[in-house]
A and B are shown apart, each in its own frame.
Chain A
């Protein structure tokens, strides 16, 4: 594979678009959630202000090297995930660094941020962080299982590990999407998707209403701002993977925006309807309902 220098500014452009779209989309989703509760919710540009505010805090406190690296790892996970899968299918500009085995790498990157976060939060020494990390890791691990199974099912189905090839195989009409060619895998993956979006019913790890707010308890000012940045990149990056694997990818930015919005909206829709699960309930839920679907998907293929 030849390396073109022009890919770097192209990747940065992707990142820029995704950050802005993520900031607006996250606020929009919060607004929709607020409208369900008959509130107006935050202004649509609130995320920008919060970000700016956190970068402008004058003092900050460190708890050690890993405390620094935690948010960095997390951001690396988000950005890496975004850059190693093709954002826009068939576009020279926005295919980024995708290569033949990128599906495995994507799976790894999804988990990478959580691990870095666990180390960083652990060093902060706050008991609520430790509670949050153990809750978060157990929930993410179980919610990753159905997703991994679904990914393997898809890889088996198309006999490739390249996201690009999988998207290519789904072109030519809605009926070619994995959604219709392998509905079991998509169902398993979408259930797992709920678990990783940190929205109700699976947001006990991070919910500010919970007294232990979770891993970021000790994070503040610039650290928190870095994590907020990741909080807008990572879900989009993850949804890009979903879009590519199951919903036919996107050939242009408008299609991209629409599909991402709809995928995000799916988790929001579930979230405003159902109350929050405790960790042991959600772990059990994933193992009982999502796992068998994933196994069935592999068996069917």
Chain B
């Protein structure tokens, strides 16, 4: 299954066909609270405020190198692999296959897999199923708020090539254009056993030090942002959500 996928990746042409920009039929209004405005301070001074520039940190992500010696990094990678904290963010119908993992039958807690409700504490984002453009925006923000060693797993056919939503006007077809994906789990939907197998493979990747998605994201930040902004037409957030 994995070999097929790698073969498939090899088939990709070097130069990707650039999607053409469709002419916009209407302009998107900027959200009211983000419109630049002039306010008068209590001392009478006039201040110009551009919320998107002034209220948010503009710095992009940086590459965080493994700062320790090989042996300590290996130890850390082992700890990261054995303690996968999943962000509880179900993007599509695949989320329904994640819930059984908590139940007595599958019990993913045995493998150090837990669900966290906040992106700050999670280190694994599971894109569960199809991703509409609207959800993609939220997924990007959630992903960016996670802290550096962080992993993305694409769940189901929809994240790989669009799946049954291949001709939909509103769902993306290749997740790795927008987020650095470490691992795909095929199926429509994959069974919980397939998920456990996938997490097991992810653990092997992490232990081998190959799951450096966050650094990949920082290195290719421009490319990811171009792709993201091409589909998210109403980009009304800072380029990187700290």
Contact = CB atoms under 8 A, between A and B. Distances in A.
- Do A and B contact each other directly (Cβ–Cβ < 8 Å)? yes
Interface of A: 34, 37-43, 46, 49-50, 52-53, 56-61, 128, 208-213, 216-221, 224
Interface stretch (B41-49, B104-112, B169-177, B183-191): B104-112
Nearest to A48: B79
B101 to A, nearest CB: 11
A61 B79 CA distance: 21
17 contacts: A38-B104, A39-B110, A46-B82, A49-B83, A53-B80, A53-B83, A53-B123, A56-B149, A61-B120, A128-B118, A208-B115, A208-B117, A210-B117, A213-B116, A213-B118, A217-B118, A221-B147
A217 B116 CA distance: 10
Interface in B111-150: 112, 114-118, 120-121, 123, 147-149
Contact of B79 (A43, A53, A217): A53
Contacts of A220: 120-121, 147
A57 B75 CA distance: 12
B150 to A, nearest CB: 9
B227 interface: no
Contacts of B118: 128, 213, 217-218
B165 interface: no
A157 B82 CA distance: 51
B83 A58 contact: no
A39 B121 contact: no
A267 B196 CA distance: 33
Interface string B61-96: 000101100000001100110110000000000000
Nearest to A129: B118
A37 B104 contact: yes
Interface of B: 64, 66-67, 75-76, 79-80, 82-83, 103-104, 107, 109-110, 112, 114-118, 120-121, 123, 147-149, 242
Contacts of A56: 76, 79-80, 149
A217 B88 CA distance: 13
A43 B110 contact: yes
A57 B123 contact: yes
A34 B242 contact: no
